[in-house]
Structure 1
Amino acid sequence: MNILIIEDESRIAKRIARMAHDIFGNALQSIKHINTLHEALKFIQNNSMDLVLLDLNLNGDNGFDILTTAVSESFHTIIVSAYKDQAITAFEYGVLDFVPKPFNRDRLEQAFNRAIAKEKTGTHKIKLLAIKKRGRIRLIPIENLLFIKGAGAYTELFLADGTKELHDKSLEKLEQLLSHSFERIHKSYLVKMSEVKEIIVKSGSKYMAELKNGERIPIGRTKYKDIKARWL
């Protein structure tokens, strides 16, 4: 586990780091603390991480300026902030959790467990997916997303207008964030269930989900019964 803490209060950053060492133990490979927005953006561009803990107020700079960049990356982001009124917006952008200040060990451990145990995000709904394209960040409304295909460490997003975009997060990480409206119907596919028009049974115990746009997505044999029950 490689962790980046973006926090302008050294005391809080040290407390988070100490708790991370206690909770992760030997699984914690590295932990880095940065206290400015500019340095954090530079570090994210040049280093590989598993988890980022982000404060929303960084010496007067707005942590949301880094949020779209962070959520477009391969790692998960957890907000640690006193600005509780920003929680809904943060979840809409695709953070894994929002830990309000002041926090205790149990609450931070819950957030960490969500990251390592692939626990889903709970009651909050993501509304946007941020992608990197030609050096810029583009926000894609979830309502425009039909299905997602795993492509190794990356994913391919298939949109309602027929276009396709690449996302840096893995299928497993997006499954955590999109648990409300999308279903893992196959080891390589997440599908928006409201777009499923028909479930087709083919010879040889092969199953397909036909979408409203005519696209056909394979359904894994072990997932067929659960998918059919949810679709009905």
Structure 2
Amino acid sequence: MKMYKTIIIEDEQRIREALSIMLEMTAPDTIQIVAYAQSVEEAVKLIDRLKPDLVFMDIMLKDGTGFDVLQQITFNSFHLIFTTAYEQHAINAFKYSAIDYLLKPIDTEELKTAIERIAVLQQRVLEKKQLNELQTNLNKTPDRIILPTQEAMYVVRLDQIIRCETSGSYTTFFLIDGRKIMVSKPLKNYEDLLEPPAFFRIHQSHLINVNCVVSYSREGMVQMTDKSFVPISRGKKESFFKLMKYEM
């Protein structure tokens, strides 16, 4: 089993100690804490010197931010999990940017899940476009989403999404320009981000952009602008028809 050299970057001692104890309890055979940092300057020096496998980093530090750390380091081949006390708007910014995070106070089960997730990730370096999107999304209502695949990170405007279709633990995004982007996450992961009135979960396997609806029938089929037909589940018919009347 791989042991991850880990640095915790957090300027509150109470939170540093709590996270350390939780890591020792949940992943004693996986996590080796090699250092702690409280400031941007200290974090940059430790990361470049120790070359960790995993970094837990608070966004707000006493002399700057986690973004300042990422801009100054020369070694960046590590898994990164932000820790944040931000509210729902900022949490959505993380989700839109496809960046891993833990919400304070940190939940033990969510911490365990985050550690298990890094074991299957090939990507160890946050791409600049992800960080740029996160910083942008923290300051406004997000209008774009990052879709991570094995090949690349795709930045997609929300109004370019026609529909999403899920199959098992995979979701395919169908875009206005004809592209299909498949991500290895179930549709549930995106349902909270693609919300009414612009988007609607019309079926267990389908979520649609209502602005891309061409027609719909009382029998329960919707035609989209990409000429596809999407079924309306029985339990969603009433709310979908009400939404479309409101939109129209």
Q: TM-score, normalised by structure 2?
A: 0.54
Q: Which of residues 206, 229, 232 in structure 2 aligns to 1:189?
A: 206
Counterpart residue number, 2:69: 61
Letter in 1 for 2:190: L
Does residue 151 of structure 2 align to residue 138 of structure 1?
Answer: no
What residue number does 1:93 align with? 97
Please state if 1:221 is matched with 2:226: no
- Which stretch of the first structure deviates more once superposed, 35-44 or 139-148? 35-44
Alignment of structure 1 residues 66-77 onto 2, 5 Å = none
Structure 2 residue 187 is matched with structure 1 residue 156:
no
Which of 140, 154, 170 in structure 1 is aligned with 2:186? 170
What are the ranges of 5 or more consecutive residues in structure 2 without an aligned counterpart?
A: 37-42, 60-64, 114-139
Q: Which residue of 2 aligns with 1:25?
A: none
Q: Percent identity?
A: 17
1:121 aligns with: none
Q: 34-43 vs 192-201, which deviates more? A: 34-43
Matched letter for residue 208 of structure 2: V
Is the 2:96–2:193 Cα contact (8 Å) retained in structure 1? no
1:97 CA drift (Å): 8.1
Question: Contact 2:57–2:66 (CA<8 Å) still a contact in 1?
Answer: no
Q: 1:41 & 1:198 partners in 2: Cα distance?
A: 54
Q: What secondary structure sits across from 2:192 in the alignment?
A: helix
Q: Is the 8 A contact 2:202 2:231 kept in 1?
A: yes
Q: Distance in 2 between matches of 1:218 and 1:155?
A: 17
Q: Which amino acid aligns with 2:203?
A: H
Relative to the length of structure 1, the TM-score reads 0.57
Correspondence 1:39-58 to 2 at 5 A: 55-56=58-59, 57-58=65-66
1:174 alignment partner, SS class = helix
After superposition, the Cα gap between the structure-2 partners of 1:193 and 1:91, relative to the gap in structure 1 and judged at 3 Å, is same
- How many Å separate the matches in 2 of 1:41 and 1:196? 49
1:156 Cα deviation from its structure 2 partner: 0.4
Q: Is the 8 A contact 2:9 2:57 kept in 1?
A: no
SS in 2 for 1:155: strand
Q: Distance in 2 between matches of 1:165 and 1:219?
A: 23
Q: Secondary structure at the match of 1:169?
A: coil
- The CA deviation at 1:58 is 4.4
1:223 Cα deviation (Å)? 0.8
Q: 1:95-128 CA distances to partner (integer Å, 9 max, x unpaired)?
A: 69896xxx6x5xx67xx7xx9xxxxxxxx84432
1:127–1:142 Cα contact (<8 Å) kept: yes
Matched, 1:80 2:96: no
Gap regions ≥5 residues in structure 1: 22-27, 45-52, 71-76, 116-123
Conserved? CA contact 2:161–2:176, under 8 Å = yes
Q: Look at both structures and tell me which one has the larger radius of gyration over its CA atoms.
A: 2
The question of whether the paired residues in 2 share the 8 Å contact of 1:94 and 1:128 is answered with no
User: Would you say the 8 A contact 1:155–1:166 is kept in 2?
Assistant: yes
Q: Which residue of 2 aligns with 1:74?
A: none
CA contact (8 A) 1:187 1:220 kept: yes
Q: Is the 8 A contact 1:125 1:178 kept in 2?
A: no
Counterparts in 2 of 1:43 and 1:62: CA distance versus 1, 3 Å: closer
Counterpart residue identity of residue 199, structure 1: Y
Q: Distance in 2 between matches of 1:216 and 1:81?
A: 42
User: Partner of 1:140: helix, strand, or coil?
Assistant: strand
Please, what is the CA RMSD of the aligned residues?
A: 4.6
Q: In 2, Cα distance between the equivalents of 1:97 and 1:219?
A: 34
